[in-house]
């Protein structure tokens, strides 16, 4: 009788033992596949988080006499690792005049005071893309006419609709912006857009007149640079936000930035913004550690339990082993039969575990990944103050992650399962296999 036939007949004859072995191996394989699939999914989650929670750093050069020069900005953007996305900003105050030099009227209702020298002045906000400025993204401002100011804009201005109505300004009209510190710095700009605020200002009665929403004018970086620094040919800015491809490289990139000459970096403030990513990353690392420990514990337990189960099983087969030896069948053939019986159950268990673990992994894994990334997120308000707030509904890109059993994970579990079966069977059969045939036959009687 062939080895395969003996193994199949025994598995069919001892249905109870075979089903018990099959159930144990099924649970073992399902647990291993679930752990491995969750661990693989955390790598995908980490990549998604890097895209969703872009790391960036801000250069605050407000205290520099000439800000951040244009050539320095170009050098920064050439650093390897930057995503190419950036925002340049400047803030100042300016007096408002019509094209003929007559002062324009500002709003003073709700102002805490009208500072001396600011009777016709307001806040100037310059951004490389006004639509991405925090006033529009977080403050409730919306453009109702015209186009946003971009990095390519020159001598353009966006004004509040009430300011435009008060002073009879319309799209295409000209107005003068004059520096409050140097009356010789004036720039003629064209009204290319009109905006409104959809939220009431929360600093009514606290803010000076020049900082009221109705008195804010958005302009291009070139105009702001002239008002702040008197530069004509080149543009300097007060702030720069630079986004990176990999938040883990922020330290290297920021260190490289501070090596550029021509800027007094000692009087600049470089701030990194990657708390969201670091929080989520630490959570994912914690989950990976837990899964790794779970894999190790499951492996050890499975080996010990399987070895114990097979030992008890083979102890009852001493008589059978003696008969095989009396028939002239070698010990190696007998051991291969016992191993083949386990392999048959393991193969069926792995196939069943593949389907079961796919459903289990998706349910457990998605829940764990969503839970570990529900952290406290950082937000920066319009005045630059950092606050912490809970954002439980922020999408980190995890909603698209399907925790599935990959072919690689399945092959790993198959290989591990086979090794486990071989080791357990060998350990369980060793006490019998080391006995001499005569000893085994004597025990039969």
- The pLDDT tens digits for 377-396 are 454 444 344 343 344 444 55
Confirm if 28 and 244 have CB atoms less than 8 A apart.
no
The answer, yes or no, to whether residue 433 has pLDDT greater than 80, is no
Instruction: Share the mean pLDDT of the chain.
Output: 83
> How far apart are the C-alpha atoms of 84 and 154, rounded to whole Å?
22
Confirm if 127 and 87 have CB atoms less than 8 A apart.
yes
Confirm if 175 and 105 have CB atoms less than 8 A apart.
no
Residues in the chain: 445
Task: Return all residues near 145 (Cβ < 8 A) that are at least 6 apart.
Answer: 171, 193, 194
pLDDT greater at residue 332 or residue 440 = 332
> How far apart are the C-alpha atoms of 46 and 182, rounded to whole Å?
51
Confirm if 254 and 76 have CB atoms less than 8 A apart.
no
Task: Return all residues near 225 (Cβ < 8 A) that are at least 6 apart.
Answer: 67, 90, 126, 231, 234, 235, 236, 237
pLDDT score at 84: 87
Q: What is the mean pLDDT of residues 14-21?
A: 84
pLDDT score at 328: 76
pLDDT greater at residue 41 or residue 30 = 30
Q: Considering the chain, what percentage of its residues have pLDDT values greater than 70? A: 86
Provide the whole-model pTM: 0.66
> How far apart are the C-alpha atoms of 211 and 202, rounded to whole Å?
12
- The pLDDT tens digits for 241-260 are 999 988 888 999 999 999 99
pLDDT score at 95: 96
pLDDT score at 236: 92
DSSP string, 390-441: E-TT---SGGG------HHHHHHHHHHHHHHHHHHHHHHHHHHHTS-HHHHH
Tokens describing residue 239 = 């702030």
Confirm if 122 and 106 have CB atoms less than 8 A apart.
yes
The answer, yes or no, to whether residue 157 has pLDDT greater than 80, is yes
Band of the pLDDT at 367, cuts 50, 70, 90? low
The answer, yes or no, to whether residue 276 has pLDDT greater than 80, is no
pLDDT score at 441: 63
pLDDT score at 159: 96
pLDDT greater at residue 153 or residue 38 = 153
Nearest C-alpha neighbor of 204 from the set 194, 195, 213: 213
Confirm if 234 and 256 have CB atoms less than 8 A apart.
no
Q: What is the mean pLDDT of residues 219-242?
A: 92
pLDDT score at 142: 94
Nearest C-alpha neighbor of 313 from the set 342, 349, 354: 342
- The pLDDT tens digits for 185-223 are 999 999 999 999 998 888 777 889 999 999 999 999 999
* Buried/exposed 354-372: b ≥16 CB within 10 Å, e otherwise: bebbbebbbebbbebbbeb
> How far apart are the C-alpha atoms of 149 and 126, rounded to whole Å?
9
Band of the pLDDT at 33, cuts 50, 70, 90? confident
- Candidate ranges 155-169, 373-387, 392-406, 415-429; pick with highest mean pLDDT: 155-169
- The pLDDT tens digits for 63-95 are 998 899 999 999 999 999 998 889 999 999 999
* Buried/exposed 219-242: b ≥16 CB within 10 Å, e otherwise: bbbbbbbbbbbebeeebbbbbbbb
Band of the pLDDT at 127, cuts 50, 70, 90? very high
The answer, yes or no, to whether residue 445 has pLDDT greater than 60, is no
pLDDT score at 383: 39
């Amino acid at each position: 009788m062939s080895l395969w036939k003996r193994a199949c007949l025994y598995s069919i004859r001892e249905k109870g033992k075979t089903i018990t072995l099959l159930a144990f191996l099924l649970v073992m394989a399902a647990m291993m596949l679930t752990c491995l699939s969750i661990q693989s999914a955390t790598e995908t989650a980490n990549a998604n988080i890097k895209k969703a929670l872009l790391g960036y750093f801000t250069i605050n050069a407000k205290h520099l006499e000439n800000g951040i020069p244009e050539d320095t900005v170009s050098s920064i953007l050439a650093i390897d690792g930057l995503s190419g996305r950036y925002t340049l900003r400047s803030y100042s105050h300016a007096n408002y005049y019509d094209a003929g030099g007559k002062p324009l009227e500002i709003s003073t209702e709700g102002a805490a005071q009208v500072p001396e020298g600011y009777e016709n002045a307001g806040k100037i906000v310059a951004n490389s893309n006004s639509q991405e400025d925090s006033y529009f993204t977080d403050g409730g401002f919306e453009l109702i006419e015209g186009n946003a100011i971009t990095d390519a804009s020159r001598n353009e201005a966006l004004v509040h609709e009430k300011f435009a109505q008060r002073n009879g300004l319309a799209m295409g009209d000209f107005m003068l912006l004059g520096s409050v510190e140097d009356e010789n710095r004036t720039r003629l700009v064209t009204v290319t857009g009109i905006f409104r605020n959809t939220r009431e200002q929360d600093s009514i009665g606290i803010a000076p007149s020049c900082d009221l929403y109705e008195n804010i004018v958005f302009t291009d970086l070139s105009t702001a640079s002239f008002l702040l620094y008197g530069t004509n040919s080149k543009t300097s800015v007060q702030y720069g936000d630079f986004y990176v491809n990999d938040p883990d490289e922020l330290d290297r990139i920021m260190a490289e930035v501070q090596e550029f000459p021509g800027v007094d970096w000692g009087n600049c403030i470089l701030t990194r913004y990657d708390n969201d990513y670091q929080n989520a990353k630490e959570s994912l690392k914690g989950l990976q550690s837990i899964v790794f420990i779970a894999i190790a514990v499951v492996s050890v337990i499975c080996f010990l339990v399987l070895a114990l189960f097979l030992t008890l099983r083979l102890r009852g087969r001493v008589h059978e082993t003696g008969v095989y030896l009396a028939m002239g069948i070698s010990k190696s053939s007998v051991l291969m039969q016992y191993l083949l019986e386990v392999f048959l159950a393991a193969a069926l268990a792995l196939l069943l575990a593949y389907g079961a673990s796919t459903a289990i992994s998706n349910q457990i894994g998605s829940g764990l990944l969503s839970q570990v990334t529900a952290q406290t997120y950082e937000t920066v308000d319009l005045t630059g103050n950092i606050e912490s707030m809970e954002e439980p509904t922020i999408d980190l890109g995890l909603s698209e992650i399907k925790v599935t059993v990959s072919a690689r994970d399945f092959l790993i579990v198959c290989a591990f399962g086979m090794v486990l079966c071989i080791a357990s069977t060998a350990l369980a059969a060793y006490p019998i296999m080391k006995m001499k045939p005569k000893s085994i036959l004597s025990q039969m009687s």
